[in-house]
C-alpha cells in the first residue's frame, strides 16, 4: 500500500500533500526534527526525530520503498529513496528519477563549491504559484501511477 513520506522541515507543500492524499486515502508521514502543530488528520502521522544532521532523511530513507512516494527538496535523500524503489517529487513537482539524479547530485556539489569559494551567493528562484500547481499535478499523477501498478 502506498504511503507518502514528507521531509517536512522546509517543505512548502505540506497542506497540498494532505489534500491530495485525503482524496485517495493514502497515509502520510510528516517527518521533521522540530515540533510542528499537530493536524489531527487521521491519515497523517507526525514523526519528530532527534536533532542532528540528516536524522529526518535517515528515518525516511530507512522506511520508504517500492510503491511509496517521497516529497523532498534534499537531493541526497532523493537519491537514497530512489535506490529503495520509491517515487520522489521535489517541492516544485519535478520528479527525481534514476536518470536525472546523477546530474542533480553533480549540480548540488558544483553549487556548494561555488558558494564556498564565494563565486555564487546561492539561493534559487522563489517558490511560485506555478510550482505549487505543478506539485499538485505531479503528486496526483504519482499516486495514480502507484495505484495502477499495485492493481497489475
Q: What is the pLDDT of residues 101-137, one digit of tens each?
A: 667 656 655 656 666 777 766 666 788 999 999 999 9
Over the range 117-138, which residues count as b (16 or more CB within 10 Å of their CB) and which as e?
eeeeeeeeeeeeeebbebbbeb
Mean pLDDT, residues 14-27 taken together: 95
The domain of 124 spans 3-151
What's the domain count of the chain?
1
| CATH number of domain containing 74 | 3.40.50
Percent of the chain at pLDDT > 90 equals: 64
Q: How far apart are CA 53 and CA 76, in angstroms?
A: 12
Mean pLDDT, residues 51-66 taken together: 93
Q: Supply 24's cell numbers.
A: 485517495
Residue 61 confidence class, pLDDT cut points 50, 70, 90: very high
Mean pLDDT, residues 29-49 taken together: 86
Write down the residue that cell numbers 558544483 correspond to.
110
Please report, for residues 12, 13, 53, 112, the alpha-carbon distance to residue 25 in angstroms, rounded to integers and kept in the order given.
21, 18, 32, 39
The pTM of this model reads: 0.86
Amino acid at each position: 500500500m502506498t504511503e507518502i513520506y514528507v521531509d517536512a522541515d522546509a517543505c512548502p507543500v505540506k497542506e497540498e500533500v494532505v489534500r491530495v492524499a485525503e482524496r485517495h486515502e493514502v497515509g502520510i508521514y510528516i517527518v521533521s526534527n522540530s515540533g510542528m502543530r499537530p493536524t489531527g488528520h487521521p491519515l497523517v502521522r507526525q514523526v519528530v526525530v532527534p536533532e542532528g544532521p540528516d536524522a529526518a532523511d535517515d528515518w525516511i530513507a530507512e522506511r520508504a520503498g517500492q510503491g511509496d512516494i517521497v516529497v523532498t527538496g534534499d537531493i541526497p535523500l532523493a537519491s537514497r529513496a530512489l535506490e529503495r524503489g520509491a517515487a520522489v517529487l521535489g517541492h516544485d513537482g519535478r520528479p527525481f528519477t534514476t536518470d536525472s539524479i546523477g546530474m542533480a547530485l553533480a549540480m548540488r556539489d558544483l553549487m556548494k563549491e561555488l558558494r564556498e569559494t564565494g563565486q555564487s551567493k546561492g539561493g534559487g528562484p522563489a517558490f511560485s504559484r506555478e510550482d505549487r500547481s505543478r506539485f499538485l499535478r505531479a503528486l496526483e499523477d504519482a499516486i495514480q501511477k502507484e495505484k495502477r501498478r499495485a492493481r497489475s
